[in-house]
Amino acid sequence: MLIGGKLINFNKPLTMGILNITPDSFYEGSRFQDASSIVQKARQMVIDGADILDIGGYSTRPGADVIPVDTESRVVCDAIKAIRTEGIETPISVDTFRSEIAREAVAAGADLINDVGCGVLDSAMFETVAELKVPYILMHNRANPKEMNDHTTYKHVVGDVIQELSAKLQVLRSLGVSDVIIDPGFGFSKTVEQNFALLRGMEMLKILDCPILAGLSRKSLVWKTLNTDPSGALNGTTVLNTMALVNGSNILRVHDVREAKECINLYEKVIN
């Protein structure tokens, strides 16, 4: 798969560093709003080993407020341009469910589209991806942040997630989109117990024949289980990231790049 002009074969798991350009992301340590701090954090993530930088201007935590399109566009594109102006060439993904933002972000210098809406929240997203010809991250989700917790009924969470992602993949393939990464969507339209069931069965997602991204970093399944909060969830995140690697994850999407890279390096030592 070509990402930012680089051929990626996923022989070794990658790290994706999270840069939230919002004031209300669920984890305070990932919020950056001025150009200087954005660039500084991006550069540090690259030093720590980030293979991809993931920039989002719309908080998708459960219950998050709606952000105007023009606001999301401005903060995301300004961040991408600031990073590129400083000569940082690491591939950038844009974390959005809006096709308009995806289009503008790619024009500003982004290399991937990370769609937390699964093509459900914007009917034009799949056609936009096909037109832009950039890799696409298809994350399982059923509803917008305000309503996602009302859509957690499954017969079998792993099987249902696979079935729903497979249907979306068929549409993408019919449009000529070939470079797709799948994300089971931990924390999106799922209860804590469903998230753990999905992690246990994540290896089954290999049937979709796409690289797999795991986004577990500091999420509620970690800190609620450990009776802490997002700031106290790093150790638990590392444990679950290790389980994700064991169960087939090709990309870890994380707030803490250095720790994730160490996790990958040790995992590689064990299996090789």
Domain boundaries, the chain: 13-271
Span 99-122, average pLDDT: 95
- 84 is an active site residue: no
| Catalytic residue (choose from 219, 224, 261, 269) | 219
pLDDT given for residue 64 in this prediction: 65
pLDDT given for residue 188 in this prediction: 92
| Separation between Cα atoms, residue 126 and residue 115, nearest integer Å | 10
Q: Transcribe 204-217 into DSSP letters.
A: GGGGG-S-BEE--T
**pLDDT tens, residue by residue, 14-62:** 999 999 887 554 445 545 567 888 999 999 999 999 999 999 988 766 6
CATH topology of domain 13-271: TIM Barrel (3.20.20)
| Catalytic residue (choose from 253, 258, 261, 269) | 253
pLDDT given for residue 144 in this prediction: 80
pLDDT given for residue 255 in this prediction: 95
| Separation between Cα atoms, residue 198 and residue 260, nearest integer Å | 20
Span 140-150, average pLDDT: 83
> Phi-psi category of 43—alpha, beta or left, where left has phi over 0 and alpha has psi -120 to 50?
alpha
- 253 is an active site residue: yes
pTM: 0.92
**pLDDT tens, residue by residue, 1-16:** 999 888 898 999 999 9
Span 178-182, average pLDDT: 97
Are the C-beta atoms of residues 15 and 49 closer than 8 Å to each other? yes
